[in-house]
């Protein structure tokens, strides 16, 4: 499997090299000047570890809101979702409308007051205060491992662009791509990552919007796309978001809907968006609780419309690009050495003129760099604060941990070079990513949500639920891989996430009933029923005044829009 994926990208690079010219390379060079310049300028503002890891908690909501969505607009969105669009069609919209926006709104309205109000520096630190050192260590280690694995995905895809652009060997492209991201992340810390993510958001949109428009024109407009998709593999089912049987792997439509709503929409989605420090870190860098709450809510508005410039191009590529159409027609086994992950690159190769190609390439590079930088900046925070400072070297001067954070960033980058080779083994990277989320995010969400609303949950239950929940998801994966369970598509990750959630809850309840809980006085600010409502209310005066800055109202507007989109395209 690994050899086949490397060979596929080599075919794209050597046989069908992207035809970039001097104008395209000049645009790319200009983009990198801005990226590295932002890293250098951000470095001048870093004097403490809080500056490096959390931007001194001084950023406005619009900056953190765009960074929040841009941090997620990496390999998962661009390559993974376009690959999913090419393979499954419109049901992929669920990753946004069911599998993202509702959880982002919940994070902003319900959970950010606890995160921001408690002044913790990371999600594992919240676990430390709620459940104690054992749960803190388990969460810190599992999060660090997950970020290195996911950073490898972004790094691999970033290297694939360099490979397709220049024809360099993939191992050299991987090292070059790693050096670029490392340079500005190690220099300026979170501030450099966030301000680059804001820049990258606009570059990504500028890259994908023209590709979508030109692709629709080439395919004969919306009606032409409908006709061609209906006549191809999967048929008309790929033009409707519901019930999404091909995506979930279930033949029964009722089971498919349950899998999407519970497995993706609740467990995977809420597990990712509400407990993943990669995202939460952006909100915690805000200057006030109101800004922290608005961060994911602001991000929800562009999030709900991004599918139109990511998934639609994937669908276009599957009917317009001959070799990808052949690959799909053959059931994912033909096509002359390409696969679904190549959808965007192939579309760029065939449709974009020079100049626009340079912008599109910059957009792709921006997306992968944003994703990898987000992984690195969250990894260095958790490893330095929650593992190194807590368990290895304690009570040193702040400057020591600032320096350690930079070295940890270097180490994480080198580790990501290794994990990039794991990502190379998947023809659809969303299969890999969703599997990782079922391992790490689903059980963590169960622990969080139970511990936040049930004061009786004990420290022993915190770590036991996490460990056994993760193990159960790994068992489901193993049974699926060996053929014991027939779960094609991304059904294994949906089922694994659901099982992990249920196992975590059951184990946590049972263990809590036979062990001693923390005193109620120690849970104020950590458990909903024990926390004064006033401390959970954001300010409505000064910089936070105005109806358009009220988190609840903004979340309500976003919820209405997402329901409308599900009805229109359902």
In this prediction, residue 426 has a pLDDT band, given cuts at 50, 70 and 90, of low
Could you tell me how far CA 452 lies from the centroid of its own chain?
Answer: 24
Per-residue pLDDT at 284 exceeds 80: no
Mean pLDDT (the chain) is: 76
Per-residue pLDDT, averaged over 299-306, amounts to 88
User: How much is the pLDDT for 515?
Assistant: 93
CATH superfamily, with its number, for domain 11-392+426-569: Sodium/glucose cotransporter (1.20.1730.10)
Which of these ranges, 194-198, 281-285, 437-441, has the smallest mean pLDDT?
A: 194-198
User: How much is the pLDDT for 190?
Assistant: 56
User: How much is the pLDDT for 1?
Assistant: 31
Which distant-in-sequence residues (6+ apart) come within 8 Å of 351 by Cβ? 211, 214, 215, 218
Per-residue pLDDT at 513 exceeds 90: yes
Which of these ranges, 277-286, 439-448, 515-524, has the smallest mean pLDDT?
A: 277-286
User: How much is the pLDDT for 509?
Assistant: 95
Pull the structure tokens for residue 310: 């990511």
Of residues 493 and 305, which shows the higher confidence score? 305
Pull the structure tokens for residue 265: 């929409």
User: How much is the pLDDT for 6?
Assistant: 34
Separation of alpha carbons 295 and 293, rounded Å = 6
User: How much is the pLDDT for 368?
Assistant: 67
pLDDT tens sequence across 313-370: 888 888 888 888 777 777 666 545 677 777 888 887 777 776 777 777 777 676 666 6
Per-residue pLDDT at 44 exceeds 80: no
127 and 135 in contact (C-beta within 8 Å)? yes
In this prediction, residue 302 has a pLDDT band, given cuts at 50, 70 and 90, of confident
User: How much is the pLDDT for 7?
Assistant: 33
User: How much is the pLDDT for 479?
Assistant: 86
451 and 131 in contact (C-beta within 8 Å)? yes
The vertex-112 CA angle with 108 and 113, nearest 5°, equals: 120
pTM value is 0.72
Separation of alpha carbons 279 and 296, rounded Å = 8
Question: Crossing angle of helices 356-381/170-219, nearest 10°?
Answer: 130
Per-residue pLDDT at 96 exceeds 60: yes
Per-residue pLDDT at 490 exceeds 70: no
pLDDT tens sequence across 238-267: 777 676 666 666 666 777 777 777 777 777
Peptide bond into 243 cis (omega under 30): yes
Longest dimension (CA), the chain: 69
Per-residue pLDDT, averaged over 387-411, amounts to 80
Q: Percent of the chain scored above 90 by pLDDT?
A: 6
Question: Crossing angle of helices 459-481/133-166, nearest 10°?
Answer: 40
Which of these ranges, 49-58, 147-156, 388-397, 550-559, has the smallest mean pLDDT?
A: 49-58
Domain ranges of the chain: 11-392+426-569
Per-residue pLDDT, averaged over 195-208, amounts to 75
Per-residue pLDDT, averaged over 528-555, amounts to 75
Of residues 228 and 437, which shows the higher confidence score? 228
Per-residue pLDDT, averaged over 369-397, amounts to 77
469 and 503 in contact (C-beta within 8 Å)? yes
Q: Percent of the chain scored above 70 by pLDDT?
A: 74
Per-residue pLDDT, averaged over 466-480, amounts to 88
User: How much is the pLDDT for 198?
Assistant: 73
């Amino acid at each position: 499997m690994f050899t086949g994926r490397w060979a596929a990208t080599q075919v794209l690079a050597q046989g069908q090299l992207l035809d970039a010219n001097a104008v395209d390379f000049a645009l790319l060079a200009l983009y990198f000047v801005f990226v590295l310049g932002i890293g250098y300028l951000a470095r001048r503002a870093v004097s403490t570890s809080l500056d490096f890891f959390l931007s001194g908690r001084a950023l406005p909501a619009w900056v953190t809101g765009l960074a929040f969505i841009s941090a997620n607009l990496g390999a998962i969105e661009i390559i993974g979702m376009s690959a999913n669009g090419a393979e499954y069609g419109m049901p992929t919209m669920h990753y946004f409308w069911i599998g993202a926006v509702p959880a982002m709104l919940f994070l902003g309205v319900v959970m950010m007051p606890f995160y921001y109000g408690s002044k913790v520096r990371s999600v594992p630190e919240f676990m430390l205060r709620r459940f104690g050192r054992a749960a803190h260590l388990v969460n810190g280690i599992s999060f660090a491992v997950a970020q290195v694995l996911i950073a490898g995905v972004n790094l691999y895809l970033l290297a694939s662009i360099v490979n397709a652009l220049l024809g360099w060997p993939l191992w050299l492209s991987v090292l070059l791509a790693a050096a670029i991201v490392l340079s500005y992340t190690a220099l300026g810390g979170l501030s450099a990552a966030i301000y680059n993510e804001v820049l990258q958001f606009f570059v990504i949109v500028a890259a994908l919007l023209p590709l979508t428009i030109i692709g629709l024109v080439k395919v004969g407009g919306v009606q032409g796309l409908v006709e061609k998709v209906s006549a191809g593999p999967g048929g008309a089912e790929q033009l409707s978001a519901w019930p999404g049987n091909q995506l979930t792997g279930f033949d029964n439509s009722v089971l498919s809907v349950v899998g999407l709503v519970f497995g993706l929409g609740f467990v995977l989605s809420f597990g990712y968006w509400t407990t993943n420090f990669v995202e939460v870190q952006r909100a915690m860098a805000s200057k006030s609780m109101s800004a922290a709450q608005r961060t994911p809510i602001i991000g929800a508005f562009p999030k709900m419309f991004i599918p139109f410039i990511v998934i639609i191009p994937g669908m276009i590529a599957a009917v317009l690009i001959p070799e990808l159409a052949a690959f799909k027609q053959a059931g994912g086994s033909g096509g002359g050495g390409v696969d679904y992950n190549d959808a965007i690159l192939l579309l760029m190769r065939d449709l974009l003129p020079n100049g626009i190609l340079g912008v599109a390439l910059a957009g792709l590079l921006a997306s992968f760099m944003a994703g990898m930088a987000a992984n690195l900046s969250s990894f260095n925070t958790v490893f330095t604060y929650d593992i190194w400072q807590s368990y290895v070297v304690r009570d040193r001067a702040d400057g020591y941990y600032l320096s350690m954070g930079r070295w940890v960033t270097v180490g994480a980058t080198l580790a990501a070079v290794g994990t990039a080779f794991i990502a190379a083994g998947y023809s659809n990277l969303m299969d890999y990513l969703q599997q990782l989320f079922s391992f790490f995010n689903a059980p963590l969400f169960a622990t969080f949500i139970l511990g936040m609303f049930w004061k009786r949950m004990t420290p022993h239950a915190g770590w036991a639920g996490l460990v056994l929940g993760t193990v159960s998801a790994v068992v489901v994966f193993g049974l699926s891989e060996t053929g014991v369970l027939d779960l094609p598509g991304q059904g294994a990750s949906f089922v694994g996430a659901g099982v992990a959630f249920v196992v975590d809850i059951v184990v946590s309840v049972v263990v809590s009933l036979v062990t001693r809980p923390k005193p109620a006085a120690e849970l104020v600010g950590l458990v909903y029923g024990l926390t004064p409502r006033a401390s959970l209310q954001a300010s409505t005066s000064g910089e936070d005044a105005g109806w358009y800055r009220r988190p609840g109202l903004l979340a309500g507007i976003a919820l209405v829009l997402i329901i409308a989109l599900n009805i229109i395209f359902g």
